[in-house]
Amino acid sequence: MSFGSYSLDGAYTIDLSNLTTRSSSAICHLVTRLAAITAAESYLSLHPRKALPFMSTKTRLAMIGVGGMARHHIRQILLQSDTTEIAVVCEPSEEQYALSAAIFEAEGVTPPYNEPDLARLLDTYSVDAAFIVTPHVLHHDQTVACMEAGLDVLLEKPMVMNAVEAKHLIAIQQQTGRTLVVAFQGSLSPNVRTASAMLQAGKLGRLLSISATVWQGWGPNTAGTWRQVPAMAGGGFLFDTGAHMLNTVVDLAGEDFAEVAAWLDNNGRDVETMGVVMGRLQSGPWVTMHGCGETINTWGSEIQVFCTGGILRTGIWGERLQMQRKAGPPRFNKVKVPESLGVWQQFLAVRNGEIPNPSPPEVGLRMARLYDAIKASAAQDGQPVQLQ
């Protein structure tokens, strides 16, 4: 089926002669955008100093990947329709797109168009930012493409597959000047940010040690998916869900590890699903981290930070914050912090200059180096490994 050509006052012309019916939806979107541009230019020629009355102040977002984790984020973003419009998605799976479209329809929102080709999306659609929630092996190249296209990026953890990719991504971010935030819920959580500030300010005295645990029925529930394919995932449970634990512990400590000793167990799978890590921070305090990804169909976490003047309790995702002081009652009390609608709301606060970036790409490099040291120690049956 041929659509001929379309012109807007001779300023923009599109050759539609080779397009198929399947392309008609995309063309409708594009024509609508071009019509808006033409109207905008006409208005500005008459009123050059005035803002366009129909221009939206919302951030136009491209969702790159709309699988299970992305759908969790989409539900949160739809609660922020005053600040954000999900303008387009990029998803190669028709099944995953249909599941995501149903979320929009349930909220009375027309589902955004799906352009499964990222390069074509970046060439065609006018968007401000991208939220990348795809298999780990795709993170680096997709983020580079988006930043070089002029978009700010919120990138699902782990940031990349290894330290080499992390260093390159940092270089591209610096070259383009775009905002890049890694979607570590802990770093972006008001609970963890408050806890980190208290610890760095010495409000609970000297840091003694940190104990962290994360558990999930990860092994059984991700069997047969890309998450257990080393070439696509980059690691197992400690690199996937456990990445939150590694990152949040270092955030709370406020310093890097000096050395780690670790033991990992694949439980007959292609990637690790259980692990125990012991470490020493650069200033001396001890850390223990335990990840169990072979338990029942549930998930949860616990972090306890022991200081000379009190104890803090939180989770790897920053899901709570409690404190018990040396001079206070013998129980934990909730610490009040601002409410949060999740990582996208925090990303907008960073993008708008309201808060410093608590999860820049440097945390992705830190995480990659720590995981590499853990694997190196486990390969030597727990021999301590120094971090450079």
Domain identity same for 233 and 379: yes
The model's pLDDT over 27-47, given as tens digits with 9 standing for 90+, comes to 444 444 444 444 444 433 433
**Segment 306-318 mean pLDDT:** 98
Least confident of 169-183, 293-307, 327-341: 327-341
Determine the Cα–Cα distance for residues 225 and 287; give it in Å rounded to an integer. Answer: 32
> Domain residues for 229?
186-340+361-386
- Helix, strand, coil proportions of the chain in percent (round to 5)? 40, 25, 35
Whether 287 and 373 have beta carbons less than 8 Å apart is answered as no
The answer to whether position 175 is within a domain reads no
Residue ending a domain, choose from 24, 39, 55: 55
Question: Two tokens at 176?
Answer: 């383009």
Q: What angle do CA 254, 260, 263 make, to 5 degrees?
A: 130
Residue ending a domain, choose from 28, 55, 82: 55
pLDDT of 388 reads 75
The model's pLDDT over 124-182, given as tens digits with 9 standing for 90+, comes to 999 999 999 999 999 999 999 999 999 999 999 999 999 999 999 999 999 999 999 99
- Within 10 Å of residue 352's Cβ, how many Cβ atoms? 11
Question: Residue 50 corresponds to which amino acid?
Answer: K
pLDDT of 7 reads 31
For residue 197, the SS3 value is helix
The answer to whether position 274 is within a domain reads yes
Q: Return the higher-pLDDT residue of 50 and 276.
A: 276
Determine the Cα–Cα distance for residues 313 and 184; give it in Å rounded to an integer. Answer: 18
Residue 327: partners with Cβ closer than 8 Å, 6 or more residues away? none
Domain identity same for 231 and 378: yes
**Segment 293-308 mean pLDDT:** 97
Phi-psi map region of 259: left, alpha, beta (phi>0 left; psi -120 to 50 alpha): beta
**Closest to 303 (Cα-Cα) out of 285, 284, 325, 322:** 322
The pLDDT-based confidence of 330 (bands split at 50, 70, 90) is: confident
The model's pLDDT over 52-71, given as tens digits with 9 standing for 90+, comes to 334 558 999 999 999 999 99
The answer to whether position 30 is within a domain reads yes
Determine the Cα–Cα distance for residues 281 and 260; give it in Å rounded to an integer. Answer: 9
Q: Return the higher-pLDDT residue of 51 and 267.
A: 267
Domain identity same for 48 and 192: no
What is the domain count for the chain?
A: 2
**Segment 320-327 mean pLDDT:** 94
pLDDT of 341 reads 86
pLDDT of 195 reads 98
The answer to whether position 194 is within a domain reads yes
pLDDT of 44 reads 37
Q: Return the higher-pLDDT residue of 266 and 35.
A: 266
- From residue 342, how far is each of 61, 229, 358 by CA, in Å? 16, 29, 14
The answer to whether position 120 is within a domain reads no
Residue ending a domain, choose from 13, 28, 55: 55
Q: What is the CATH number of the domain that holds 329?
A: 3.30.360.10
Domain identity same for 190 and 51: no
**Segment 192-218 mean pLDDT:** 97
The answer to whether position 206 is within a domain reads yes
For residue 132, the SS3 value is strand
**Segment 254-268 mean pLDDT:** 97
The answer to whether position 131 is within a domain reads no
The pLDDT-based confidence of 232 (bands split at 50, 70, 90) is: very high
Determine the Cα–Cα distance for residues 297 and 299; give it in Å rounded to an integer. Answer: 7
Average confidence score pLDDT of the chain: 89
pLDDT of 56 reads 59
Determine the Cα–Cα distance for residues 45 and 273; give it in Å rounded to an integer. Answer: 62
Biggest CA-to-CA distance, the chain:
79
Residue 5 parent element (H or E): strand 5-8
**Model confidence at 329: pLDDT above 90:** no
The answer to whether position 313 is within a domain reads yes
